[in-house]
């Protein structure tokens, strides 16, 4: 018998820590090679953590919601040496390890055929230790493990239970709280996630669910409990109006300190660097999209949904960037030249329970409207689900941010460095507008362009913004290219 300790592998791309979202195994469980033992959250996404060892779980290191550093122990497994993968091997795609487990399962978990097949695949560049971070040329297609499924070890003949060993009670099914922030918030507010009706993707409990439950509990308590510091509503503070309750004495107390998640740290670093390094300037304009509003239903392919306004705005922005390519470039490291590209990798700001993310549509300028709309919907869904592949969270060359979805007209956006510009889109509302000398109701939105003044001057930025406005106000002029 031997005990193997699985250390958190190097996640690559400068990531040095991860937040433990939830355990999927318990002490005493028998697990197989590549069985998912936990979900961890990095600054990129939430990923499954598979075990490189088979055996019995002796100990788990770390609490759900806590941080594990790269190289720190994650789990201890007994009798895992016979089928263990080399934990120092580079990470590979999830599809490769799934293939190894499925093709060797018929030989039995402890057979030499399984061991040799696993080692052969490991030497060929596999040996997965973290799903989503690999050494292959790109993600495997068609064989990707579905979210929420767990690879099970091949069945073994039932072994007789040792005499006198107490029977372990069946563990309850884990509650679908995927974000450590939501889990911590529920714990601090005294809310049991098991009692909540989840409203998030795939049945996940969200921050809003927890706050809603906490608010209902507080409201119920307020009906019966007197306010602290007031006896019957008659005590008043010195100099206060009659009937006003006295305020507690002393300074404010710190209720709690919430550490930043890996994503929040990454966002903080990016935005802080942007504000510190970029001399930014902003131009904005109101645009009449009444005609586009009326044409949008007719732009849908037969049997398909009408394209979203984000897709429409993005498509016209991409057309305007053909005339103003500096705004989709990047400064060199010395900031004394700008790199121009043969296309646009479009970043799209997405608000998620984990925080702001900017997934990327590669070569978005080459996509027609229907394909662009589909890519946007898919990106938003995977980002909110925390499953965006790391390769789609980098290398954007221009960013759009539709904050109008939150019911606001404008925003002083921060450039998503190393981009040199970001276009913000406000809400579309009916406003009085002068058309042909008459005041009529029109659908108006505000666009704001924040740009790096080192790259261009206000005239160039205004020219780009006016080009976008002209396309939006006269959408049929460019419709064949949309």
Q: State which of 97, 123, 149 marks the end of a domain.
A: 123
- What is the total count of domains within the chain? 3
Over residues 386-401, the mean pLDDT reads 89
pLDDT band at 223 (very low <50, low <70, confident <90, very high): low
pLDDT band at 293 (very low <50, low <70, confident <90, very high): very high
> Domain span at residue 78?
3-123
Residue 123 makes CB contacts below 8 A (sequence gap 6+) with none
Residue 479: per-residue pLDDT: 66
Q: Is 225 helix (H, G, I), strand (E, B) or coil?
A: coil
Instruction: Supply φ then ψ for residue 20, to 5 degrees.
Output: -75, 110
Residue 190 to residue 255: CA distance in whole angstroms: 14
Looking at the domain assignment, is residue 281 inside a domain? yes
What rounded mean pLDDT belongs to the chain?
Answer: 76
- Is the pLDDT at 99 greater than 50? The verdict is no
Q: Do 314 and 451 fall into the same domain?
A: yes
- Is the pLDDT at 266 greater than 50? The verdict is yes
pLDDT band at 120 (very low <50, low <70, confident <90, very high): very low
Over residues 443-470, the mean pLDDT reads 96
Could you tell me the CATH number of the domain that includes residue 449? 3.30.559.10
pLDDT > 70 in the chain, percent? 70
Could you tell me the CATH number of the domain that includes residue 97? 2.40.50.100
Looking at the domain assignment, is residue 200 inside a domain? yes
Q: Do 268 and 210 fall into the same domain?
A: no
Looking at the domain assignment, is residue 63 inside a domain? yes
Q: Do 305 and 417 fall into the same domain?
A: yes
DSSP state of 458: H
Residue 14 to residue 44: CA distance in whole angstroms: 11
Residue 445: per-residue pLDDT: 97
pLDDT band at 96 (very low <50, low <70, confident <90, very high): very low
Residue 457: per-residue pLDDT: 94
pLDDT tens readout for residues 50-94: 888 888 998 999 888 888 888 889 999 987 444 444 444 434 333
Name which of 99-103, 191-195, 281-285, 302-306 the model is least confident about: 99-103
Name which of 42-46, 103-107, 190-194, 348-352 the model is least confident about: 103-107
Residue 246: per-residue pLDDT: 65
Q: Do 291 and 368 fall into the same domain?
A: yes
Over residues 336-342, the mean pLDDT reads 92
Question: Is 32:77 a contact under the CB 8 Å cutoff?
Answer: no
Residue 41: per-residue pLDDT: 81
Residue 63 to residue 5: CA distance in whole angstroms: 17
pLDDT tens readout for residues 165-210: 455 555 444 556 766 667 777 877 888 887 888 887 667 788 788 8
Q: Is 64 helix (H, G, I), strand (E, B) or coil?
A: coil
Catalytic residues: 453
């Amino acid at each position: 018998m031997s005990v193997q300790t699985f250390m958190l592998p190097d996640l690559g791309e400068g990531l040095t820590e991860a937040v433990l979202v939830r355990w999927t195994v318990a002490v005493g469980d028998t697990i197989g090679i590549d069985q998912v033992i936990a979900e961890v959250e990095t600054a990129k996404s939430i990923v499954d953590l598979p075990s490189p060892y088979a055996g019995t779980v002796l100990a788990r290191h770390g609490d759900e919601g806590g941080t594990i550093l790269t190289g720190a122990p994650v789990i201890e497994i007994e009798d895992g040496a016979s089928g263990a993968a080399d934990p120092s091997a580079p990470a590979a795609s999830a599809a490769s390890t799934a293939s190894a487990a499925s093709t060797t399962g018929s030989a039995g978990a402890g057979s030499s055929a399984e061991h040799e097949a696993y080692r052969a695949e490991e030497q060929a560049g596999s040996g997965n230790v973290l799903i989503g971070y690999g050494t292959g040329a790109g993600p495997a297609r068609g064989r990707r493990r579905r979210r929420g499924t767990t690879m099970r070890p091949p069945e073994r003949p039932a072994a007789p239970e040792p005499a006198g060993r107490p029977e372990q009670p069946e563990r309850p099914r884990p509650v679908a709280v995927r974000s450590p922030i939501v889990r911590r918030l529920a714990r601090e507010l005294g809310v049991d996630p098991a009692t909540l009706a989840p409203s998030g993707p795939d049945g996940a409990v969200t921050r809003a669910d927890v706050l809603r439950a906490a608010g209902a509990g507080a409201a119920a308590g307020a009906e019966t409990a007197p306010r602290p510091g007031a006896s019957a509503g008659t005590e008043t503070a010195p100099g206060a109006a009659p009937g006003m309750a006295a305020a507690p004495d002393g300074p404010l107390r710190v209720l709690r300190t919430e550490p930043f998640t890996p994503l929040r740290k990454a966002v903080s670093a990016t935005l802080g660097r942007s504000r510190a390094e970029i001399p930014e300037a902003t131009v904005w304009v109101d645009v009449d999209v009444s005609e586009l509003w009326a044409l949008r239903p007719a732009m849908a392919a037969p049997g398909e949904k009408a394209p979203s306004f984000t897709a429409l705005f993005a498509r016209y922005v991409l057309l305007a960037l053909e005339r103003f390519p500096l705004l989709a470039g990047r400064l060199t490291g010395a900031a004394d030249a700008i790199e121009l590209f043969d296309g646009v990798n479009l970043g799209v700001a997405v608000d998620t329970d984990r925080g702001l993310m900017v997934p990327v549509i590669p070569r978005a300028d080459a996509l027609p409207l229907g394909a662009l709309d589909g890519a946007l919907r898919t990106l938003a869904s995977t980002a909110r689900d925390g499953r965006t592949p790391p390769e789609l969270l980098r290398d954007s060359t221009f960013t759009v941010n539709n904050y109008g979805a939150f019911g606001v007209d404008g925003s002083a956006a921060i450039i998503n460095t190393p981009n040199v510009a970001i276009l913000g889109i406000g809400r579309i509302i009916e406003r009085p507008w002068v058309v042909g000398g008459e005041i009529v109701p029109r659908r108006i939105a505000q666009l704001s362009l924040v740009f790096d003044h080192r790259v261009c001057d206000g005239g160039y930025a205004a020219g780009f913004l006016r080009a976008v406005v002209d396309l939006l106000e006269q959408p049929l002029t460019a419709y064949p290219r949309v």
